[in-house]
Amino acid sequence: MSTTLETKAPSKSMIILAAVVANIIWGTPFKLLKLMYASMDVSREALGDRYIAQVLTIVSVRFLLAGLLTLAVAMIMRQNIVKMSKIQFRNVVIMGLVSTGFAYFFFNIGNVNISSTINSTILAQSTIFFTALLANFIYSDDKLTPMKTLGLVIGFAGLIISQLTGGTSIGDMFHFSITGEGFMLMYGLMATLGTILAKYLGSSLNVFVMTGWSLVVGAIFLFVVGAIFLFVVGAIFLFVVGTLMGGSLTSVHWTTEGILLLILLAAFAAIPFTLWNWAATWGKLSEISVFKFIMPISGSLLSVAFGESFTTSLLIGLILVCVSIIMLNLPSKKPLQAN
């Protein structure tokens, strides 16, 4: 039997603030990851067939650090990080595998197999639509309405327009491959299922404990998968147990800049995952999901801060995303009826 940890629900403004901050931070790794990989000399040209495995392994280290950081915060808050019922433990493991393990397995492989940045960015936000649709069927108080549906359409249009920069082509969006665009759509579905699990589990387990262990579980999954890929393509392992890590991480150039970026990226995983899981616990999923539109906008603005041009399309996209957020959070009493 689960016990609700908090008796008084937070205000809607606090839930919105958590969702906004989470997605602003989530947008920053797109640029920071490129800088980290460049610093560590992790590229397809340098690693060949081992490139994807190397990416998965470094990502696993990032999420492991993020999980341990989150659990450390839970301990500082005097939370017992090992006190869980068997059902809670099972659900945390499932959540970790789904929201971090499977989701970022599909994301990272899909991302490196998609040549178009616009295609990758847009498909990654499929989680918004999966969340709104599944919430419509799972939660009686979270139905799709005409206003929410129109808001999703406007937000998606804003997302497309915002990414039409740097010579990308709309035609690129119509190319499809299973391990590229298909995997990115699977990422969206896995991320959505992770959010639903967070909403279910968050009512009975401290959000820091829940998020921390789910990140650790997902990180272990990613590391094992990355190590397996390295073995398949012929990597030589040095020791029976330590070989998996040694075989993957010794080929990385561990520069000071790269390590600092890795630590920063770990923090930029721990903070938004915790905020998002907390927001999902208390908020309506169809309403908070629209804040995912902020993530690519945030990433684009960070790129501008690093010297890229602020374009008219980015400005228009930003405006449309803001309109979409407002529309999806306006009260509406008429649910959208199925035909």
Assess contact for 328 and 290: CB atoms under 8 A: yes
Output the pTM of the full model: 0.75
CA angle 187, 192, 194 (to 5 degrees): 95
Supply the DSSP symbol for 289: G
Specify the pLDDT at position 319. 82
For 174-197, what is the mean pLDDT? 82
Radius of gyration, CA atoms only, the chain: 20
Residue-wise pLDDT tens digits, 94-112: 888 888 888 888 887 887 7
Q: CA 258, CA 33: separation in Å to the nearest integer? A: 9
Assess contact for 325 and 291: CB atoms under 8 A: yes
Q: CA 283, CA 328: separation in Å to the nearest integer? A: 13
Lowest mean pLDDT among 29-33, 216-220, 284-288: 29-33
Residue-wise pLDDT tens digits, 171-184: 555 566 787 778 88
Assess contact for 178 and 114: CB atoms under 8 A: no
- Pair of tokens at residue 330: 């306006």
Q: CA 123, CA 187: separation in Å to the nearest integer? A: 9
Q: Report the phi/psi class of residue 48: left, alpha or beta, with left for phi > 0 and alpha for psi in -120 to 50.
A: left
Assess contact for 204 and 147: CB atoms under 8 A: no
Residue-wise pLDDT tens digits, 209-244: 888 888 888 888 777 766 655 544 333 333 333 334
Residue 329's pLDDT band (boundaries 50, 70, 90)? low
